[in-house]
Amino acid sequence: RNVKVLEVSPVGQSKRPDEFFEIRLEYPDWDGWKPGQFVMIRPSGWDLDLIWARPFSICSADENSLTLFIQKVGRGTERITTLKPGDEVAIWGPLGNSFAMEPDTPTLLLAGGIGIAPFRGYVEHHPAPDNVSLFMAHRLPLECYPYNQLSKTVCGSCMLEEQPQDLQGIIEFMREEIKRYAEKNGLILSCGPTPFMKTVQKFANEFGARAQVSLENRMACGVGACLGCVTKDGDDHHIQVCTRGPVFWTDKVKL
């Protein structure tokens, strides 16, 4: 179905001010959605070489609007960021599975860069945000999602962890946190680029942590038809990320 664009705005205090955007769309006529699910969108009137729709995690929604968080990485996403209020996009979703949510379990969210997108909705949906901590790892401090806006309007009472400033510090921090959550049988949820996910998986395996990763494989159809998003499960079987994921337990997927 088609929905109208309500707003497109740059976000973050980035050194690349035109890299990250929030796009608000008219809320589609969905019964609901779950954090971790995604949508495919395609602006009307795309050139033939941009004909494929693009997948985006659902960032947040209210009864009137649906918010997506977009990083400009190529011509397709660039075109999307030039949409104006009133333009129409074709949207299909909500697609895929969702993150585990256990209200009484200490839960750590690990976001790498644009991987912050599904966690805004996660915290908004969580019945006990006091049990949720969020750690964001960025290439540069304050580069990605507006830190202050996130802590004020998204996290509520959810704790925002301080970020170490260097890569080794980030890896050490993640190792210690994953170990700590494994010891208390907590839940670790993560989303970000593949190297980030591999780091989470490695430490989750090392400490026997219950952890999920949300994969960002390239997707063309979002519904299991094109095989563009295939990966392997823990038994080496090929699986489509769009229909079996995008969220996987770390011991059930090969990265």
Give residues in contact with ligand FES (CB under 6 A): 219-222, 224-229, 240, 242
Rg (CA), the chain: 18
Q: Considering the complex, state which of residue 40 and residue 155 has its C-beta at the smaller distance from ligand FES.
A: 40
Q: Considering the complex, state which of residue 12 and residue 246 has its C-beta at the smaller distance from ligand FES.
A: 246
Question: In the bound complex, what is the minimum distance in angstroms from residue 169's beta carbon to ligand FES?
Answer: 35
Question: In the bound complex, what is the minimum distance in angstroms from residue 40's beta carbon to ligand FES?
Answer: 8
Q: Considering the complex, state which of residue 186 and residue 222 has its C-beta at the smaller distance from ligand FES.
A: 222
Structure tokens at 214: 């949300």
Question: In the bound complex, what is the minimum distance in angstroms from residue 17's beta carbon to ligand FES?
Answer: 31
Closest CA to 11 of 24, 20, 23: 20
Question: In the bound complex, what is the minimum distance in angstroms from residue 173's beta carbon to ligand FES?
Answer: 33
- Order the strands of the 132-137 sheet from edge to edge: 159-160, 132-137, 107-112, 187-191, 210-214, 247-249
Q: Considering the complex, state which of residue 117 and residue 155 has its C-beta at the smaller distance from ligand FES.
A: 117
Closest CA to 115 of 146, 149, 144, 157: 144
**Gap between the Cα atoms of 128 and 232, Å rounded:** 34
Question: In the bound complex, what is the minimum distance in angstroms from residue 53's beta carbon to ligand FES?
Answer: 10
**Gap between the Cα atoms of 233 and 241, Å rounded:** 10
* 3-state per-residue secondary structure call for 220-245: CCCCCCCCCCEEEECCCCEEEHHHHC
DSSP annotation string for 71-130? E--SHHHHHHHT--TT-EEEEEEEES------TTS-EEEEEEGGGGHHHHHHHHH-S-GG
Question: In the bound complex, what is the minimum distance in angstroms from residue 243's beta carbon to ligand FES?
Answer: 7
Q: Considering the complex, state which of residue 40 and residue 137 has its C-beta at the smaller distance from ligand FES.
A: 40
Q: Considering the complex, state which of residue 10 and residue 228 has its C-beta at the smaller distance from ligand FES.
A: 228
